[in-house]
Amino acid sequence: MRVGGWGNPLGEEGSGYWIGLQGLRAVAQATDGRGEDTAITGRVFDELKVTDAQDLVPWMAAATKKDVASLAPLILAVAGEGDPTASEIQGRALDALAQHLDVARRAWAQWEESFPLAVSGGLLKEGGLLRGPFLERARAMGAQVEPGPVVAVRGAARLARVLLG
């Protein structure tokens, strides 16, 4: 089953793009005084080679989804250093991913308590910055994590085998 994947602006919760966008919003809010000062600001300025938050407006207007998503590792690194704003963004990303997972868990519960889970995506792949905390939550929810990378052909073959008996 698939949960989420609605794309921007309908979804993306917990994705690299979403984390990058939340980081940029945190910078804007801190600049305005609507949010707390955060180490994200200086790190984003350095990464994008800008000197003022106003420079983010034209950057964002020209940015691709990939450009915004490329900021996620930076924001997660700042979270790892203890910045409260970045840590909150990381926590909300994990909460969003767990919410997706809970939908799958409840759908699968009609057959078994535990459920199979294949994980893909840059932040969740082997060595990905969210993989460890996400898998910890997933296992606590009853997920049986499939080892190795997600290979679409393998999933299609498995589904065909099940459907053909």
- What CATH number should be reported for the domain whose range is 16-164? 3.30.420.40
Joined together, the tokens standing for residue 61 give: 């207007």
Distances in whole angstroms, Cα of residue 83 to Cα of each of 18, 19, 28, 75: 18, 15, 16, 9
pLDDT of 137-148, one tens digit each? Answer: 999 999 999 887
Angle between helix 131-140 and 84-108 (nearest 10): 40
According to DSSP, residue 151 is labeled -
Sequence ranges of the domains in the chain: 16-164
Q: What is the pLDDT of residues 17-61, one digit of tens each?
A: 999 999 999 999 999 999 999 999 999 999 999 999 999 999 999
Is the pTM of the predicted complex or chain greater than 0.85? Answer: yes
Band of pLDDT at residue 1, cut at 50, 70 and 90: low
Place of tokens 């082997």: 126
Could you check whether the bond before residue 9 is cis, i.e. omega within 30 degrees of 0?
A: yes
